[in-house]
Structure 1
Amino acid sequence: MPVFYTFIDSPLGPLRLVGDGHALSGLTMSEHRHAPDTKGDWIREDAPFEATRSQLDEYFAGRRSTFDLVTAPAGTAFQQRVWQALQQIPYGQAESYGQLAERIGSPKAARAVGLANGRNPISIVIPCHRVIGAGGQLTGYGGGLERKRWLLDHETQNRSVARDAVS
């Protein structure tokens, strides 16, 4: 199955989208930790990402609080559990690594949750930016802490607008 990719502009800088034409498997920022290099056999194509682009535009405009996209993040069973749980953190809110570990039934696995969170291949859509340190401090983010702060501030500022809009 071919792998397609494209780049879109955002308030956070260029975003790279990766997928197979049906499901989104990657969304990374420039200078993103753990982002795979674009492979030589990947095909640059915009068309497979029109829905993703549209929903991200709505999100950045403050008119969307959830995404309705087919995703296919590749990872271990534990990572998949963490990434599923990330999608349950409400827009405009944050949760600690320990709270997330507790919620997935692994209360002693906060560090492992943090590692899985850091390996999330579909940033923003799978909202790993909503996970913070136990004392409320911002900790690690593949796209950089300044982008994590921006995303959290953006959601806090648009919480009431986005909930009333398309979601």
Structure 2
Amino acid sequence: MTNKKHQNAGGQAMLSGDFGESFIAHLLAKKGVYVVRASTVGFDLFAIDSKGGLLPKNKMIGISVKARIAQSHRAFAPTIPMGSEKIKSAMKTWRVGAYMGVVIGSEGKMDAFLVPFRSLGKLRGKAKRADVLAASELYANKSDIVIKLF
């Protein structure tokens, strides 16, 4: 028997994932970055910044997007699994650099971040697992490695 409270959880996750990918692509495009959505193992988007304003100039970058949208009124600061092995494999396959795009939303608030994959280990916070990103570290941005898009 399915718990009615969570019966649509998979659908909500899929919708928030699609929204996150589209939102990150839109924000990057508004900043002059060329973006294409391409669902591959490890990456959701590929981007080239011809001006070098946000990303390395004229380099193809693969972006893995994670979205966490809260359905309640409370503050929402999750840990987010990174999927490092898939991203590392995709980097080799596509011969590109990698970034993680993160969209976090709760009622009345939406934030979007971009972080170089090589720097994600610095954003674990107090999490015990190695392959997670602490959302609270995105907001703290103590090392200036996080790009806040929105």
* TM-score, normalised via structure 2 length: 0.26
* TM-score, normalised via structure 1 length: 0.24
Q: Choose between structure 1 and 2: higher strand proportion.
A: 2
